[in-house]
Structure 1
């Protein structure tokens, strides 16, 4: 029986582990066959319920299995072969955000959504078939050494990253025990030479929400939309109202997304109850789903500006677009990442998970942003994001000051 399904829109370093293609993996064929039938599908089928299509016929799978065991020159691990076959089935969709994860990878992913893990603090994903840094987490080891959004990872500890290495393998190489180091070789957009960064791993605890008050104006930083984010935003909203803040700079830079429902809940503080935030558009023939605010709307009256950059993805883009279209809010910074799809995480009977794209999302006015991103209302390039002055942040406060009441 399937456990509860989580619905999310994100791209993080552990999610990247789910993006791998056909990894060499294994289990006995008779163990593999039931796993393929664990979840039911509402898709049109070419085979009767319970039947596998011809290419998955167990006799043919046994033939391939036997060929490998008879002919392959190296050692084989049955469980790894079978897990690889499961990965390959999902990879056959051609969708980089749909993937199978084994029980251990699934456990790591759940830790990420809870907001804590060990590593260097980056989110990675596939962009134009290249392993790309979506964003370094704020204050993380990766950010401190100068790794940036849209950097392409070329080597890990001197080993080239190519199509023979799955993203699951890449994640396992980057992660490790706190105190150890990993060397990343990076290709940077616009740069002519490769860059080497040696990063010391740490225990990363994601503090998803931070609030600062500056001369009556608030800086609300949201770095992820995880399980704890709604509670933290509720606390921040109460503090803002208690201190009579006159306006808010909402910083969504380097926020890769997270749980879709959490993003909509956060929007409920800034938009009136019942406001459309995002529309999910599934495959043809299925009804669309409107996600509307059900929150207190307690911050609606405060002037607001939103900061974004190339590391703002998924749920961050959903919020930025909704604020642009529903409140005519100024979005300041750089064009966002451009991930316009929604995934469901379905847990299987053995603890493994299948992450499947179930819909594309449209902004309230029907815009699609996949591979395009959200264009800022006011574009500000920040060439050195880890150094002062923070040009995007300064512009945000400048615009906000023009809008607050004296």
Structure 2
């Protein structure tokens, strides 16, 4: 009886799945014809599960077996189709929808959390909280010695929407008590937008959400008032987001009637195309787009469309190559299936999806960052070649190939040094905080001057080395000698972040960000030409070399 109940339960779930497929299909007749075959296989599947659960040498739960079965099915599909359990789906959604919080970021230093960043427009900023403040109490509870996770949990457990914090400021004896209201924090897709030079605006776009177009309009209008004559749009490490947001971003820069992207799925009638409406005043602003191996999906739609129409120059390294449209199907338990339902194509018909056949998921993802494999792909004589309206060659078959290829020195940080930077002891931000707190003039400096004014002396370098070694980190004198320049660069960048936020970090990165430097130099030549054509790209490549 127990066996029959088990099989019936699994079989009933299977029938529900089949029914949903049949009801949602446009060719239900074909599904009904195969129904008996599917039913028979599901009966066998239920019997296999029941036998394993009852007879296998080690106990296995039904949930574990069913989840493994789902993973097995998904593993036979493309690398981007995925099933997200409830917790994972909730975290994934938060990256687009935001979260409830106080609007401050912090790291635990010397037993207390130190504020490292305050969101624009947050109650914390209005209340006078500053970067470098140490939080000592939440309500009446001392948080000395608590981990960052413990502190987050304590804030969430506060029953009232108002949270009282006690903060201590460097060189100020009297603690300050501030009361902050928790509210929904919307993570911006454009964290910074500012003038890099007197005429060059810079916009960093990290993802594509429902608010991206509105954020872009605000940034463009503000930069225009500040004298922007040309724009650098930084899409590096932008993993994508909503297709509709990618359309709206591209739409800002094209005249009416231009194809931006089209999608084609398996089902008849699944073809969709998106065309610009020409409603925006930015159609003639020169644009350079920065991309790298982490630029994917919706970000590739923007770069691909503006490259196809000779509307923007693309600088950097070949993008990831994700040309799949995914649809989201939510389930009652809070989990979801992200399933590929179509391919997208650039206006010239380029399919940007990189080949994933005969590759494991790890091989596929690591392949986007394999410089040798990227070089082989870029120099493959069999790659599809397309001609833009101005006669420039652009390429299909795996990501967006930039017009000007530049390897970024910032990405050349040695793995051993990366491990030190990411170490749990947070050596770099801890030392940067000491320098920042001991140098109050950094708070008053214009952000663009931080890179020139921040210095790491020999004594400070030796103090950093001593701090790392005293903590028992496995490094030696040779390690610090070999990585001296990179360590100093990373320390200066962290200090600049504390003093000037993300904008300060970007200016400090100019020392090694060869892609951004090339984009700035590109603009100087860009304005000497009337259009993006082979003459312009040839001049830029010659100068880059």
The TM-score normalised by the length of structure 1 is 0.66
| Partners of 2:275 and 2:98 in 1: CA distance | 25
Check whether the contact 1:265–1:295 (CA below 8 A) recurs between aligned residues. Answer: no
Q: Match of 2:293?
A: 310
Q: Within 5 Å, give how 1:286-301 maps onto structure 2.
A: 286-294=269-277, 296-301=279-284
Structure 1, unmatched stretches of 5+, are 1-26, 119-138, 141-175, 181-203
Residues 97 and 221 (structure 1 numbering): CA distance in 2 closer, same or farther, change over 3 Å? same
The structure number with the bigger radius of gyration is: 2
Contact 2:205 2:234 in 1 (8 A): yes
Moved more, 71-80 or 211-220: 71-80
2:188 maps to which of 207, 221, 232: 207
Q: How does 1:387-406 map to 2 (within 5 A)?
A: 388-404=511-527
Residue 285 (structure 1) shift:
3.8
Distance in 1, Cα, partners of 2:273 & 2:280? 18
How large is the RMSD of aligned CA atoms in angstroms? Answer: 3.4
Q: Distance in 2 between matches of 1:205 and 1:73?
A: 50
Matched residue, 1:97 = 80
Contact 1:111 1:117 in 2 (8 A): no
The aligned residue for residue 378 of structure 1 is: 404
Name the SS of the counterpart of 1:327 in structure 2. coil
Q: Confirm whether residue 365 of structure 1 aligns to residue 365 of structure 2.
A: no
Aligned partner (choices 201, 207, 210) of residue 227 of structure 1: 210
SS for the counterpart of 1:384 is helix
Q: What is residue 331 of structure 2 aligned with on the other side?
A: 348
* CA distance 1:276–1:115, change in 2 (3 Å): farther
Q: 2:59 aligns with which of 63, 70, 75?
A: 75
2:133 is aligned to none
Residue 239 of structure 1 corresponds to which residue in structure 2? 222
Once the two structures are superposed, the pairs formed by residues 260-279 of structure 1 within 5 Å of their partners are 260-279=243-262
How far residue 325 of structure 1 moved from its aligned partner, in angstroms, is 1.3
Partner of 1:59: 43
More strand by share: 1
Contact 1:38–1:349 (Cα < 8 Å) also in 2: no
3-state DSSP of counterpart to 2:319: coil
Paired residues of 2:261 and 2:301 also in contact (CA < 8 A): yes
- Number of aligned residue pairs: 302
How far off is 1:31 after superposition?
5.8
1:283 to 1:244, Cα distance in 2 relative to 1, 3 A:
same
More divergent stretch after superposition (259-268 vs 31-40): 31-40
Report how far residue 328 of structure 1 moved.
Answer: 3.8
Deviation digits for residues 60-98 of structure 1, max 9, x if unmatched?
233112211222232322223233333434444x22222
Q: Write the distance in 1 (CA, Å) between the matches of 2:43 and 2:341.
A: 32
Once residues 117 and 50 of structure 1 are traced to their aligned partners in structure 2, the CA distance between those partners, rounded to angstroms, is 48
Question: Which residue of structure 2 lines up, in the alignment, with residue 339 of structure 1?
Answer: 322
Deviation at 1:205, TM superposition (A): 7.9
Q: CA deviation at 1:310?
A: 0.8
Q: Which moved more, 1:252-261 or 1:206-215?
A: 206-215
Q: Which moved more, 1:372-381 or 1:346-355?
A: 346-355
- Show the counterpart of 2:308: 325
Q: From the superposition, tell whether residues 370 and 67 of structure 1 become closer, same or farther in structure 2 (CA, over 3 Å).
A: same
Deviation at 1:226, TM superposition (A): 1.9
DSSP-derived class of the 1:258 partner: coil
> Superposition pairs for residues 130-169 of structure 1, below 5 Å?
none
Structure 2: tracts of 5 or more residues without a match: 1-7, 102-115, 118-146, 152-184, 355-397, 414-508, 530-545
Give the structure, 1 or 2, with the largest relative contact order (CA under 8 Å, sep 6 or more).
1
Select the structure that is richer in helix: 2
Checking the alignment, whether the CA contact within 8 Å between 2:86 and 2:334 is kept in structure 1 is: yes
**Structure 1 runs (4+) greater than 6 angstroms displaced:** none
Map Cα deviations across residues 189-247 of structure 1 (whole Å, 9 max, x no partner).
Answer: xxxxxxxxxxxxxxx98532120113121011101112332221121122123223111
In 1, Cα distance between equivalents of 2:62 and 2:267: 39
Change (3 A) 1:114 1:295: farther
- Indicate how the Cα distance of structure 1 residues 52 and 345 shifts in structure 2: closer, same or farther if over 3 A, else same: farther
